[in-house]
Amino acid sequence: MIHIQSLIDDAKCLETVRDLRWPNGVHCPTCDSSEVTKQGRDDTQPERQRYLCKSCEQRFDDLTNTIFAGHHQPLRVWILCLYFMGLNLSNHQIAQELDLNKDDVHQMTCQLRQGIVVQKPHPTLRDKVECDEVYLVAGHTGKPNEVGKKGGAAGADGSRANVDAERSQPRNRRSSG
Ligand SMILES: [Zn+2]
């Protein structure tokens, strides 16, 4: 019986990875510069190219920042998994073809659907908006009676509180918009 893993080689797999992650040529995964030079090959995987970025001087290779780096499955298994996904094989069928555990294949196909380059989480601006809301409320802190008073016969303290409220309102409206 022919084993499909013996029919493909690492050189082709790495070429596929390069095509997928760098369709317009090699770019630095740190600063996205295309000013990179080749820096020899990996010690254990001779087909795995190393690079040096001329802009930020970071070293990286074909698999840096991909889901394949540091994974226990060989690259050819990942690429075959990707190939079978393209043929619409189920996780169960892929597991059989690659002689793998179905749970492992499930994990691999989930990761592959997210893309082969590891995504960095982006910060959201939600906390800032909440901070504005807190600021708005803080204008009345310690003066609960002033909230209900709109002008009227207030003492010196009361008038000052109303001026503060009027002054703070447009500013809050602008910052939240
Ligand atoms: Zn760089």
Would you state the pLDDT for residue 125? 56
Residue 145 CA to ligand 1 centre (angstroms): 59
Q: What is the pLDDT of residue 87?
A: 96
Residues with C-beta atoms within 5 A of ion ligand 1: 28, 30-31, 33, 53, 55-56, 58
Running along the chain, 177 residues long, what does each successive block of 10 average in pLDDT? 81 94 96 96 92 97 91 90 96 95 95 88 55 49 61 46 47 46
pLDDT at residue number 158: 46
DSSP letter for each residue of 73-127: S-HHHHHHHHHHHHTT--HHHHHHHHT--HHHHHHHHHHHHT-SBPPPPPPPSHH
- Under 8 Å CB-to-CB from 39, ≥6 apart: which residues? 50, 51, 52, 59
3-state secondary structure of 61: strand
Report the alpha-carbon distance of residue 79 to residue 17 in Å, rounded.
8
- Please tell me the predicted confidence (pLDDT) of residue 160: 47
What is the CA(44)–ligand 1 centre distance, in A?
Answer: 24
- The CA 64 to ligand 1 mean position distance, Å, reads 12
Distance (Å, rounded) from C-alpha 110 to C-alpha 29?
22
What pLDDT sits at residue 3? 78
Ligand 1 centroid to Cα of residue 34, in Å, is: 8
| Cβ atoms within 10 Å, residue 145 | 11
pLDDT, residue 1, reads 73
